[in-house]
Amino acid sequence: MPDGSFFSDTEALGLASSHLRNSKEIRVVIARGADDLMRCMVIRATVWLTMPNARFDEHYDENDFSCTHLLVFEGDEPVGTLRLRWLKDEARFERLSIREDHRSLPVLRRLIDFAFKLIASKGYTYASGMTREKGVKFWQRRGAAICGTPVIYHGEEVVPIRITLDGDAHPTLAKGPGHPDYEALMLLPESRLMRA
């Protein structure tokens, strides 16, 4: 059984153009510490565990302690989250969750754009995940391609997708382990790898 790591599209998220918000109020951060991680877990629970026949162990697992969690805010209110799992050659988007009363294209775009920038800044050139069939076109417009056969998750087909990223890795990473600049960069939080 696959985990809950599929992308949702705007229709599946209940997004409507009339629900657009002022994107200047929206910000994304990397979860730091127990308070932020708790925000991620609560948002995920309100989105996924309220689904019919939801199972706790399909939405929470040991990977929660080894992944990067992103939080999207509208003003001071945490409204969405996304989990990034770091694999050898790609990053995996998982557990995309946006609270129902805050679902909008600007929230989704800001969260995804931040994730793409972080992934690319760490030197990855690919990201992967899964989407509902009706979300394929949304993700294809963002550079995704179908990369496998659909699987069944919660009684519906989800499609594996892969995205080629065109961002640049932080230039200091090319200096490699042992170089003073590289070692100094490794002492910083991963958000510092992202260039403006």
Q: Is the confidence at residue 40, as pLDDT, over 80?
A: yes
The whole-angstrom separation of Cα 58 and Cα 87 is 20
Q: Identify the structural domains of the chain with CATH numbers, from first to last.
A: 6-193 (3.40.630.30)
Residue that wins the pLDDT comparison between 156 and 37:
37
Q: Is the confidence at residue 196, as pLDDT, over 70?
A: no
Gap between the terminal Cα atoms of the chain = 39
Q: What is the pTM of this model?
A: 0.81
Of the candidates 95, 33, 97, 8, the residue with the CA atom closest to the CA atom of residue 60: 95
Count CB atoms within 10 A of the CB of residue 177: 8
β partners of residue 83: 69, 94
- Tell me the one-letter amino acid at 162: R
Q: How confident is the model at residue 63 (pLDDT cuts 50, 70, 90)?
A: confident
Q: How confident is the model at residue 24 (pLDDT cuts 50, 70, 90)?
A: low
Of the candidates 60, 104, 101, 103, the residue with the CA atom closest to the CA atom of residue 83: 60
What is the distance, to the nearest Å, from the Cα of residue 45 to the centroid of all Cα atoms in its chain? 16
For tokens 């609270």, what's the residue? 99
Average pLDDT, the chain: 82
Of the candidates 132, 128, 126, 127, the residue with the CA atom closest to the CA atom of residue 150: 132
Residue 191's alpha-carbon distances to 74, 105, 179, 187, in angstroms, are 19, 23, 20, 12
In percent, how much of the chain has pLDDT > 90?
37
pLDDT recorded at residue 9: 42
Residue 105's alpha-carbon distances to 15, 100, 135, 140, 155, in angstroms, are 6, 12, 13, 16, 26
In this predicted model, what pLDDT tens digit does every residue of 176-186 receive, in sequence order?
A: 899 999 898 88
In this predicted model, what pLDDT tens digit does every residue of 77-86 receive, in sequence order?
A: 999 999 999 9
Q: Is the confidence at residue 188, as pLDDT, over 90?
A: no
Q: How confident is the model at residue 56 (pLDDT cuts 50, 70, 90)?
A: confident
Q: Is the confidence at residue 16, as pLDDT, over 70?
A: no
